[in-house]
């Protein structure tokens, strides 16, 4: 058995089913080993897609997303998705090739030292230099990617090492041997203190972050049960969406920049805040403006370095989101003798805020204007698809609009897939590939702008090749919307390098060139028929692209 075969056998023992990547001559031994395995390799057209598809796959499944690339430029192209996984705490292993050791340092073709480049954006960047270390190295990669706060791991494997035979084949043991059996739980005394604080609060709020998704099986059920036990309103961060159903009466909505006007104001008035799996990051905190200095914070996080990093805490609890919420619920049931009131002034304030916001956006979501209002398009898309539909979001104004309450509401875990605080353009379609691989029986819908979609539209070929019928909704306003909005608001409309009109392709013709279904939508009356046509195409196994012509002067509301 050579090293390449051993790597594949370890991946099989870890229940790995998919690898996203692009081959290079240096990684061909690994591909040859995959040939005889039960692992399916998804060939992408650009390595950026491999890492972003692996990121989305991991976000949905909670399993390690695997991607690969050759050395040098191929490895560098993986960097966008690896950095996103680092910031979003996504478990990932990225394999990159390298030249043989004896020619490194002589000007070897495409060689560049990768450890130093990937070290700042991974939990571990390592070189497999000794063949007999293959079991330890790969098992360690899985363990590190999944342990504690999840994240990406990078492994460099030189070509000569991949080909070398192993001196003694080690037994491939159960994956449980190589990492903890369970996530850490909280100190019981701190659980009691947290309950006392929540019960005393008059204006409590729960803030759910992305860490709720990475608890085994998601912390969705625990979060819902705790909120209903105490009848506490729940807000979600950008990465936390899907942790709590946004049509629930206790849902506050998504916090941060360009959220519904009432959301940040409501959270600011809380006297107690239970933050679960939340890093209090920039966009979700509206540049750190939404937490009142007087608010008493209970912060639960699996990473102790996150607790107290951005805000002082009343109670800091190190533990897994789901396990800690479960402990809170169990203790609470022993002490809660009477049901919590559901008609408090605090909850009425929330209800009033929601109604005011619905009135504010009513004209946008019902507008018959041409060009289309993006709010109308997003609302119609949400109404058309079922609750289990997975939405993948590219970066741009459309994402901020979609993240505002009452437009693209999210109801279930793993149905809002975005690259949160990293926010790279071009993420939507690659993420849809990883999402469709993870959930082949559910609808997967990309929400993208014309600028972001142009960056990775070649991956329509990947969708066709691998029978991944996703629907791409391209909101085409013929400009880089965020840039144009900032130039209009801040730079006296001195527009430069933001207009795409005249240079944008017909996305319908592009779709057709890739053997996908394409349709242009210009009028509100055409939205639903086009969505039906796209859905029918996917039922036939054909990816679809809908090009919605939207108003270039429409932008998210500042709060």
Instruction: Tell me which of 134, 169, 204 is where a domain ends.
Output: 169
Nearest partner of 197 among 300, 284, 288, judged by Cα: 300
Q: Does residue 559 belong to any structural domain of this protein?
A: no
3-state secondary structure labels for all residues of 412-479: CCCCEEECCCCCCCCCHHHHHHHHHHHCCCCCEEEEEEHHHHHHHHHHHHHHHHCCCCCEEEEEECCE
Instruction: Tell me which of 169, 199, 215 is where a domain ends.
Output: 169
**Same domain (yes/no): 544, 447:** yes
**Same domain (yes/no): 196, 344:** yes
- The confidence score (pLDDT) of residue 335 equals 82
Rounded percentage of the chain residues whose pLDDT exceeds 90:
86
**Same domain (yes/no): 161, 292:** no
What's the CA gap between 42 and 58, in Å, rounded? 15
Q: Does residue 519 belong to any structural domain of this protein?
A: yes
Q: Does residue 179 belong to any structural domain of this protein?
A: no
For 384-400, what is each residue's pLDDT tens digit? 999 999 999 999 999 99
**Same domain (yes/no): 107, 241:** no
- State the Cα angle at 210 between 207 and 215, rounded to 5°: 105
**Residue 444's pLDDT band (cuts 50, 70, 90):** very high
Residues 172 and 143: beta-carbon distance below 8 Å:
no
- The confidence score (pLDDT) of residue 431 equals 98
**Same domain (yes/no): 220, 111:** no
Counting Cα atoms < 13 Å in the Cβ hemisphere of 556 gives 24
Mean pLDDT of the chain: 93
**DSSP symbol at 307:** T
- Report whether pLDDT(345) > 60: yes
Question: Averaging pLDDT over each range in 97-111, 260-274, 544-558, which range is the top one?
Answer: 260-274
CATH of the domain at 528: 3.40.50.970
**Same domain (yes/no): 102, 35:** yes
CATH of the domain at 296: 3.40.50.1220
**Same domain (yes/no): 64, 110:** yes
Q: Which domain holds residue 22?
A: 3-169
Counting Cα atoms < 13 Å in the Cβ hemisphere of 69 gives 27
Q: Could you tell me the two tokens for 157?
A: 């494997």
Quote the pTM value: 0.96
Q: What is the mean pLDDT of the segment spanning 442-453?
A: 98
Place of tokens 């793993």: 414
For 228-279, what is each residue's pLDDT tens digit? 999 999 999 999 999 999 999 999 999 999 899 999 999 999 999 999 999 9
Distances (CA, A) of 339 to 225, 228, 229, 230, 335: 13, 10, 7, 8, 11
- Report whether pLDDT(110) > 90: no
**3-class secondary-structure state, position 546:** strand
**Same domain (yes/no): 127, 215:** no
Instruction: Tell me which of 305, 320, 350 is where a domain ends.
Output: 350
Q: Does residue 93 belong to any structural domain of this protein?
A: yes
- Report whether pLDDT(191) > 90: yes
User: Lowest-confidence range among 212-226, 453-467, 491-505?
Assistant: 212-226
Q: Does residue 183 belong to any structural domain of this protein?
A: no
Q: Does residue 177 belong to any structural domain of this protein?
A: no
**Same domain (yes/no): 266, 394:** no
**Same domain (yes/no): 15, 115:** yes
**Same domain (yes/no): 408, 452:** yes
Higher-scoring residue by pLDDT: 423, 315:
315
**Residue 520's pLDDT band (cuts 50, 70, 90):** very high
Higher-scoring residue by pLDDT: 214, 302:
302
Do the strands 272-276 and 204-208 form a parallel or antiparallel pair, or are they unpaired?
Answer: parallel
Total domain count, the chain: 3
What pairs with residue 254 in β-bridges? 236
Nearest partner of 381 among 367, 365, 358, judged by Cα: 365
For 395-421, what is each residue's pLDDT tens digit? 999 999 999 889 999 999 999 999 888
Q: Does residue 178 belong to any structural domain of this protein?
A: no
Q: Does residue 219 belong to any structural domain of this protein?
A: yes
Q: Which segments within 159-243 are labelled E, that is strand? A: 204-208, 234-236
What's the CA gap between 468 and 442, in Å, rounded? 11
Counting Cα atoms < 13 Å in the Cβ hemisphere of 205 gives 31
Q: What is the mean pLDDT of the segment spanning 98-118?
A: 74
**Same domain (yes/no): 226, 344:** yes
Q: Which segments within 366-421 are labelled E, that is strand? A: 390-393, 416-418
User: Lowest-confidence range among 77-91, 183-197, 235-249, 498-512?
Assistant: 183-197
What's the CA gap between 481 and 398, in Å, rounded? 8
- Report whether pLDDT(525) > 50: yes
- Other CB atoms within a 10 A radius of the CB of residue 553 amount to 12
**Residue 174's pLDDT band (cuts 50, 70, 90):** very low
């Amino acid at each position: 058995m050579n090293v390449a075969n051993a790597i594949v056998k370890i991946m099989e023992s870890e229940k790995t089913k998919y690898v996203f990547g692009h081959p290079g001559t240096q990684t061909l031994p690994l591909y040859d080993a995959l040939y005889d395995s039960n692992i399916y390799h998804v060939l992408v057209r650009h390595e950026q897609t491999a890492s972003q598809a692996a990121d989305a796959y991991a976000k949905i499944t909670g399993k390690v997303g695997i991607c690969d690339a050759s050395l040098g430029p191929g490895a560098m192209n993986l960097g966008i998705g690896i950095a996103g996984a680092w910031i979003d705490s996504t478990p990932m292993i990225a394999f990159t090739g390298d030249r043989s050791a004896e020619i490194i340092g002589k000007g070897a073709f495409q060689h560049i030292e990768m450890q130093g480049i990937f070290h700042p954006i991974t939990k571990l960047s390592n070189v497999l230099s000794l063949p007999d270390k293959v079991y330890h190295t790969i098992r360690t990669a899985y363990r590190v990617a999944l342990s504690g706060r999840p994240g990406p791991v990078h492994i460099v494997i030189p070509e000569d090492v991949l080909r070398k035979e192993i001196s003694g084949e080690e037994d491939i043991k159960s994956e449980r041997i190589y990492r903890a059996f369970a996530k850490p739980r909280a100190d019981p005394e701190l659980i009691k203190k947290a309950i006392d604080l929540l019960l005393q609060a008059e204006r409590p709020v729960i803030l759910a972050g992305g860490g709720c998704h990475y608890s085994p099986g998601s912390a969705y059920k625990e979060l819902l049960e705790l909120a209903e036990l105490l009848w506490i309103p729940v807000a979600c961060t950008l990465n936390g969406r899907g942790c709590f159903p946004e049509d629930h009466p206790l849902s506050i909505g998504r916090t941060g920049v360009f959220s519904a006007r009432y959301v940040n104001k409501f959270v600011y008035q809380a006297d107690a805040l239970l933050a679960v799996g939340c890093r209090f990051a920039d966009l979700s905190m509206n540049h750190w403006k939404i937490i009142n200095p007087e608010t008493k914070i209970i912060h639960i996080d699996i990473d102790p370095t996150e607790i107290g990093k951005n805000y002082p805490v009343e109670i800091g609890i190190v533990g897994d989101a789901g396990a800690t919420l479960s402990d809170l619920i169990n203790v609470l049931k022993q002490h809660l003798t009477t049901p919590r009131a559901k008609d408090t002034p605090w909850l009425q304030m929330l209800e009033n805020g929601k109604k005011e916001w619905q009135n504010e956006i009513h004209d946008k979501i019902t507008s018959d204007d041409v060009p289309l209002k993006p709010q109308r398009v997003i609302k119609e898309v949400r109404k058309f698809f079922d609750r289990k539909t997975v939405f993948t979001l590219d970066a741009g104004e459309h994402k901020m609009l979609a993240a505002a309450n009452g437009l693209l509401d999210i109801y279930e875990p793993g149905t809002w897939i975005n690259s949160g605080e990293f926010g790279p353009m071009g993420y939507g379609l690659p993420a849809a590939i990883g999402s469709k691989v993870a959930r082949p029986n559910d609808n997967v819908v990309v929400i993208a702008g014309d600028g972001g979609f142009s960056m990775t539209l070649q991956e329509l070929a990947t969708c066709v090749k691998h029978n991944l019928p996703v629907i791409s909704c391209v909101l085409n306003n013929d400009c880089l919307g965020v840039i144009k909005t900032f130039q209009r608001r801040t730079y006296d409309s001195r527009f430069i390098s933001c207009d795409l009109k005249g240079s944008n392709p017909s996305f319908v013709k592009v779709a057709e060139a890739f053997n996908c279904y394409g349709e242009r939508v210009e009028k509100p009356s055409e939205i639903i028929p086009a969505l039906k046509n796209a859905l029918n195409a996917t039922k036939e196994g054909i990816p679809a692209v809908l090009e919605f012509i939207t108003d270039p002067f429409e932008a998210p509301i500042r709060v």
